[in-house]
Amino acid sequence: MSSDPAGEKPIAAPSKATTDASAKAGRAAAAEAGAGTAAGGGGWLGRAAEKVPTKWLTAAVVALFLAATAAFGGLEPVAAQGPVEVAAGEAHEGPMVSLAPQRAVLIDDFVEGGASADAEEHERVLVVIVDAVNVWDRPVGGLSTEFRETLRLQPLPELPAEGVARFDDGTIGPDLQPGVPVQLAVSWLVPDDAFAEGDELRLELFDHTLHTGQSVTYGEFWDDAALAAVATLEIEDVGAGADAEQATP
Amino acid sequence: MKRALAWLAGLAMVAAAAAVGHLTLTEGQQQSPFVVQAALGDPAVGRTFAVTVEQVRAADAVADAGGWHAAGNWVVVDLEAQARESETASILTLIELRVGEVVYGASERPVSLVDTPLSVGLPQSGSIAFELPESLTSGAATLRLGRTAEDRLDSVAELQIDLAALERRPSIELRETAWAQ
């Protein structure tokens, strides 16, 4: 029984020796062939190739890869960067727009801002006044998907903004021109029991990534919205609104 | 001799490849718009439209005939525009002012020539207003007018403007869009 491995060894050893020998012979032949073509100018290349320690190459590459991985923190999980907390009136500068949410107002209806609530459907309007500056190099549409995606209500994350209007002259869906600050009233149609006077509204601010079209797409576009900051605003309930109060004696 | 020839041929091929690489137009160049250079007072005729920019001024406030007014750093362009072959979808949807790499769109806040369908052979007179950042009062700007915001391979009228040289008024009332006299 024990003679088997012993018997194998002598056979294995010579076979390894022969492979080494044949490899050496092969290399020698290659070198010779290289030397033979040296007249044509390729000799030095063959000799240089001969000197490359192929045996250690794989190990060296693996070691280099591991060293690089270790240099970047190895397999340690990357610390997740949570959203930044933003106070009322404080600006969060994203790559597309800089947004400074000022205050939040709950109102029965806000047709002039582009959000018309149906009281029978138990809808009210939540309006956020926000100072915005387009920091990109071309206009951003106020009612564009990418702009509306930058502001979301934390309790209702899937609800898109219904209306975006300028606070000064009431232009609905204004274009934000680069570098021109504008105060906007962004409004959402919300269930009338979702928010109340004095509640703290958690307003999420998202950052997009600018993509450049390739092959079948063209131009530049914003996509991949990621939560970047959260603003906390106290909600003020103005009922039917100041205008309505003045209108009804 | 043979060896020198091989080297020469190789170098020649590398040079030829470099030349082809440099001379071939990029995708942007292949699809670039056909620019019609406009001058103040002269008609600039594009494929589907013709415009005559009459004057360009700057203002610290603008108003429209409907009573809307706003302060700011404005550039106001007075122009005449008409369609050429068809009145279908004849609105000039490319109206922009380029300053370096930055693009400003025509303001939709006042009532202006923006979004006005053009007529064939009947020029309309009106104004376009651009709202710029407060600090932007000098530098070279390009007014670009075209049929579609997608300007590739279509004609675009361009007018070079020196922002610092513009006549600056405290306030300008935009022209009411009307048939040109």
Residue A207: name the closest of A82, A81, A94, A85 by CA.
A94
Tell whether B5 is covered by a domain: no
Residues in A touching B102 (Cβ below 8 Å): 137-138, 178-179
- Report whether pLDDT(A28) > 80: no
What is the residue whose two structure tokens read 């004057």? B55
A171 interfaces chain B, CB cutoff of 8 Å: yes
> A180 CA to chain B: closest CA distance, Å?
5
Does residue B20 form part of some domain?
Answer: no
User: Is the model's pLDDT at B97 over the cut of 80?
Assistant: yes
The confidence band for A94, taking pLDDT boundaries of 50, 70 and 90, is very high
Do A109 and A238 touch, CB atoms closer than 8 A? no
Q: Which tokens go with A70?
A: 């270790």
- Check residue A8 and give its pLDDT: 46
Asked if residues A91 and A99 have their Cβ atoms less than 8 Å apart, the reply is yes
- Where does the pLDDT of residue B165 fall: very low under 50, low under 70, confident under 90, or very high at 90 and above? very high
pLDDT of A179: 97
pLDDT for residue A42: 65
pLDDT tier at A221 (50, 70, 90 boundaries)? very high
Q: Does A178 touch chain B (CB under 8 A)?
A: yes
- Residue B22 is assigned to a structural domain of this protein: no
Distance CA A47, CA B19 (A): 36
Distance CA A132, CA A48 (A): 64
pLDDT of residue A27: 52
Query: Rounded mean pLDDT of A28-37?
Result: 48
Structural domain boundaries enclosing B126: 32-179
Give the pLDDT confidence of B59-92 residue by residue, as tens digits.
999 999 999 999 999 999 999 999 999 999 999 9
Residue B3 counted as domain residue: no
> Measured between beta carbons, which residues in chain B are less than 8 angstroms from residue A177?
104-105, 107, 130-133
Q: Is residue B84 part of a domain?
A: yes
A83 and B CB contact within 8 Å: no
Rg (CA), chain B: 22
CATH number where B148 lies: 2.60.40.1240
Q: Is B72 inside any structural domain?
A: yes
Residues above pLDDT 70, as percent of chain A: 80
- Nearest to A96, CA basis, from A141, A59, A62, A53: A141
Residue at B103 is within a domain = yes
Sequence-distant (6+) residues with CB within 8 A of A240 are A107, A108, A109, A248
Q: What is the SS3 string spanning chain A?
A: CCHHHHHHHHHHHHHHHHHHHHHHHHHHHHHHHHHHHHHHCCHHHHHHHHHCCHHHHHHHHHHHHHHHHHHCCCCCCCCCCCCEEECCCCCEECCCEEEEEEEEEEECCEHHHCECCCHHHCEEEEEEEEEEEECCCCCEECCCHHHHCCEEECCCCCCCCCEEEECCCCCECCEECECCCEEEEEEEEEECCCCCCCCEEEEEEEEEEEEECCCCCCCEEEEEEEEEEEEEEEEEECCCCHHHHHHCC
Answer yes or no: do A177 and B70 touch at CB < 8 A.
Answer: no
Q: How many domains does chain B have?
A: 1
Q: What ipTM goes with this model?
A: 0.90
- pLDDT of A20 strictly over 60: no
Given an 8 Å threshold on Cβ–Cβ distance, is A180 in contact with B3?
no
Of A136 and A79, the one with more pLDDT? A136
Q: What is the pLDDT of residues A44-79, one digit of tens each?
A: 888 888 887 777 888 889 999 999 998 888 778 877
When the pLDDT of each residue in chain B is averaged and rounded to a whole number, the result is 95
Answer whether residue B162 is part of any domain.
yes
Query: Which of these ranges, A73-77, A141-145, A193-197, has the smallest mean pLDDT?
Result: A73-77
Average pLDDT over residues B125-140: 96
In B, minimum Cα distance to A215 occurs at B27
pLDDT score for A44: 85
Closest C-alpha to A181, from A67, A125, A98, A108: A98
Residues of B within 8 A of A41 (CB-CB) are 3
- In this prediction, residue A242 has a pLDDT band, given cuts at 50, 70 and 90, of low
- A224 dihedral zone (left: phi>0; alpha: psi -120 to 50; beta): left
